[in-house]
A and B are shown apart, each in its own frame.
Chain A
Amino acid sequence: MSRPQFDSIIRLLFLVTAMLGVALPLADAVKRVGKTATAAPIDARYSAVASALPPQATLGYVSDLPDRGPGLGLFLQAQYALAPRILLEGDSHRLTLANLQDPAKLAAVCAANGLAPVKVDPDGVALLEKKGAP
């Protein structure tokens, strides 16, 4: 087989495979229909707290999740939703954001850090204030 013939066969194969390849993404689209659950925007979880904060605020941050893995993800989501406010780990600021996977732990978190709730969202997000702060 000469080189031009070989090239022609390869090109034909290339075209046929390319056309067949069209089926893959279409099958993917069909497969996804019905399997996709609608997710709420990240902002929705933090909207109540965000409305109570000035844009330039710097907040402490406490959570019932570890600092890495899902805990880090939750922290970054809160930072994204509350931007341009700044979140810093710990409770050294006048206001602190509690971002809890288990909302029932809010009282324990407040007690452990000497904080009092200012605004509480039932989904586990709460704005806390240092007890005795002016």
Chain B
Amino acid sequence: MTIAARVLAGILAAVAIGVCGPGLLDAALPFHRRAGIRRGLILFVGLSLGLSLWAAVGLAAFFARMSSLPDLMGGDAILALAGGAAMLAWRRARKTDSVPVVEIDPADDISSLMICFLLLMIVGSAAVFALQVRQRPDGGYDAWAIWNLRARFIYARSSHTFDAAFPHADYSPLWPALLARIGWLAGGLSTAAPMVCGALAATFTAGILFFGVAWFRGARAGVVAAIMLLGTQELIDHAADQYADVPLASVFLATGVLLALFLESRSTSRLRMAFLAGLLGGAGALVKNEGMIYVVALLIGLAVAAAKFRRPGGVIEIGAFVAGAVPMLLLLGVFRFGFAPANDMLSGGAAFAVAHDIDSLPAADDSPHRLGASGDSSAGAPRSLARRLTDSRRYRTVLFAVLGRLIRIDRWNIFLLAAAVSFVLRPLSKQDAVARAALGTAILLTCGGYFMAYVATPHGLEWHINTSMNRLILQIWGVLLFLTSLRLNGPPAPVD
């Protein structure tokens, strides 16, 4: 493939991502008094959406064995055309309810001290990221043994990509598909690609949180939220380790922010935002299996909020959200039924170990086995699911592990404990109560789902908790900080 063709493919990809991400979001998002906040949100949430869709097209092309560069360019052209048509239709429909935009710099009312704090956090986070990448250029265990390995197989268009012998071949494949798409475009998949993508995922999470909170509570509250996010070592460590939990956290947060926007908007475009929130929610289910729990929890959260506040048109909003999620969930269905081996949590057999590093891989034993199909991470777990679910000690173990995490200030700073404690406080404002109810329900249900996943795990319980709980908390950390910020801050005073 010539360089000119690659450049053309790159331009087409940029157009597809731009139109289906920031373009569509711009057409759906209501106007905000502060244009800078609106632009920032469009940039970060829009790019998350656009990149998710672009990666999904690549994944679909891979499934269909049509992943040559010309085929991918065709897919991108279709994506850009479909997104462009929707964008134009949405823009035309919005004219009737448009309001004047007030151009105000969002940094106007942030004190210089807060700016200094934020800059310190950005510099500190970048330093930690760079030092860790230097130490582990291939990332942590999960990165090279699962995500980047799969990206290399997808990039090579191998029919062995989802062989059951590979670690966690059943994991949702959107993240490796994104890496492979970048590789197809660049003509090679270097170790730098996942590094850069990890850094971008952390940046997106911080950006979405800042602008999302700033939209509802002003720039000052946004800065405090961003400082809290960047002050969490787990986020930066896992981003440098190239784990898929960071992009998942970004997608969870972007979905939560869009959901809050459409629930609190009186604009006629709110159904479009519900649709886009559904698209992003579905993308989360394609990034990691936990995304499926989140998307179901969001649906229940929407239903609870609609019932509690007797929202007119609540059912239609839920329908729009589901309609958005369907394309991604269909792609997930193709993967589950056409390509993925059985999930180790559901099949009851402990396939590959989930581990942070080689040291935590299962130790040697005497039983004969085949490399790449370990089974001893299940040590200590009752064999039947019913026995695991009715064992009260397992509930106690998980509960104490959660409580233990709340005070791990070496990993979570003091912010996780603070966020948990903040929920005993009354919200400062009665505004956006519907969004807070929906998001609170969704986060609670997601945590409940994770809790039950631990209780039901066929793996050794303590081993499983030790190697994965921080990552599960990280996945909901951004959206939890968003909700906490809405609860603890009042709406900003008008400035115009």
- Please tell me the number of chain B residues within 8 Å of chain A, measured between CB atoms: 61
15 more contacts with CB within 8 A, not counting A20-B414, A72-B372, A79-B166, are A18-B228, A25-B121, A25-B128, A25-B233, A26-B121, A28-B124, A29-B131, A32-B131, A33-B127, A33-B131, A39-B137, A68-B363, A72-B374, A73-B361, A84-B152
A86 near B372 with CB under 8 A, answer no
Interface string of A68-103 (1 = CB under 8 A from B): 111111011101100110101100000000000000
Binds A, one of B15-23, B93-101, B142-150, B447-455: B142-150
Does B327 have its Cβ within 8 Å of any Cβ on chain A? Answer: no
Given A29-B131, A39-B137, A89-B371, A55 and B156 contact (CB-CB distance below 8 Å)? yes
Given A21-B231, A36-B134, A10 and B236 contact (CB-CB distance below 8 Å)? no
CA distance A77 to B145 in the complex (A): 7
A68 near B374 with CB under 8 A, answer yes
Sorted from nearest, which 5 A-B pairs have the closest CB atoms? A73-B358, A84-B156, A83-B152, A84-B158, A89-B371
Question: Which residues of B have CB within 8 Å of A22?
Answer: 117, 120-121, 227, 231
Q: Report the minimal beta-carbon distance from B114 to chain A, rounded to whole angstroms.
A: 9
A72 near B418 with CB under 8 A, answer no
User: Which one of B144, B227, B363 lies within 8 Å of A80 (CB-CB)?
Assistant: B144
Of all chain A residues, the one with the shortest Cβ separation from B139 is A42
User: Which one of B124, B156, B161 lies within 8 Å of A29 (CB-CB)?
Assistant: B124
CA distance A41 to B163 in the complex (A): 25
Does B465 have its Cβ within 8 Å of any Cβ on chain A? Answer: no
Question: Which residues of B have CB within 8 Å of A70?
Answer: 358, 361
Does A132 have its Cβ within 8 Å of any Cβ on chain B? Answer: no
A-B contact list, 15 entries, CB within 8 Å = A7-B425, A17-B418, A18-B415, A21-B418, A22-B121, A29-B128, A32-B127, A36-B132, A36-B135, A39-B135, A42-B138, A43-B138, A56-B158, A68-B364, A69-B362
Given A15-B224, A42-B138, A68 and B131 contact (CB-CB distance below 8 Å)? no
Interface-central residue, A24, A41, A73, A77, by most chain B CB under 10 Å: A24
A11 near B425 with CB under 8 A, answer yes
User: Which one of B127, B135, B148, B372 lies within 8 Å of A89 (CB-CB)?
Assistant: B372
Within B127-175, the residues touching A (CB, 8 Å) are 127-128, 131-132, 134-138, 141, 144-145, 148-149, 152-153, 156, 158, 160-161, 163, 166-167
Interface-central residue, A33, A67, A73, A83, by most chain B CB under 10 Å: A83
The secondary structure that dominates the A interface is helix
B488 near A14 with CB under 8 A, answer yes
CA distance A66 to B136 in the complex (A): 24
Q: Report the minimal beta-carbon distance from A59 to chain B, rounded to whole angstroms.
A: 12
Does A5 have its Cβ within 8 Å of any Cβ on chain B? Answer: no
Does B82 have its Cβ within 8 Å of any Cβ on chain A? Answer: no
Of all chain B residues, the one with the shortest Cβ separation from A35 is B131
Does A38 have its Cβ within 8 Å of any Cβ on chain B? Answer: yes
B137 near A32 with CB under 8 A, answer no
Interface string of A31-71 (1 = CB under 8 A from B): 01100111111110000000000011000010000111111
Interface string of B411-445 (1 = CB under 8 A from A): 00111001001100110100000000000000000
CA distance A32 to B128 in the complex (A): 8
CA distance A88 to B167 in the complex (A): 14
Of all chain B residues, the one with the shortest Cβ separation from A32 is B131
Q: Report the minimal beta-carbon distance from A92 to chain B, rounded to whole angstroms.
A: 12
Does B290 have its Cβ within 8 Å of any Cβ on chain A? Answer: no
B414 near A28 with CB under 8 A, answer no
Given A15-B224, A89-B370, A83 and B149 contact (CB-CB distance below 8 Å)? yes
Of all chain A residues, the one with the shortest Cβ separation from B370 is A89
Does B468 have its Cβ within 8 Å of any Cβ on chain A? Answer: no
CA distance A18 to B412 in the complex (A): 12
Does B102 have its Cβ within 8 Å of any Cβ on chain A? Answer: no
Of all chain B residues, the one with the shortest Cβ separation from A40 is B137
A66 near B364 with CB under 8 A, answer yes
Does A133 have its Cβ within 8 Å of any Cβ on chain B? Answer: no
Question: Which residues of A have CB within 8 Å of B137?
Answer: 39-41
Does B496 have its Cβ within 8 Å of any Cβ on chain A? Answer: no
A76 near B167 with CB under 8 A, answer yes
User: Which one of A33, A36, A69 lies within 8 Å of B364 (CB-CB)?
Assistant: A69
Does A19 have its Cβ within 8 Å of any Cβ on chain B? Answer: yes
Interface string of A103-126 (1 = CB under 8 A from B): 000000000000000000000000
User: Which one of B138, B160, B224, B236 lies within 8 Å of A41 (CB-CB)?
Assistant: B138
Given A38-B134, A89-B371, A72 and B361 contact (CB-CB distance below 8 Å)? yes
A18 near B227 with CB under 8 A, answer yes
Given A29-B124, A72-B361, A89-B370, A11 and B488 contact (CB-CB distance below 8 Å)? yes
Question: Which residues of B have CB within 8 Å of A67?
Answer: 364, 369, 371
User: Which one of B131, B236, B372 lies within 8 Å of A36 (CB-CB)?
Assistant: B131
A25 near B134 with CB under 8 A, answer no
Of all chain A residues, the one with the shortest Cβ separation from B129 is A29
Question: Which residues of B have CB within 8 Å of A20?
Answer: 414
Does B267 have its Cβ within 8 Å of any Cβ on chain A? Answer: no
CA distance A83 to B372 in the complex (A): 14
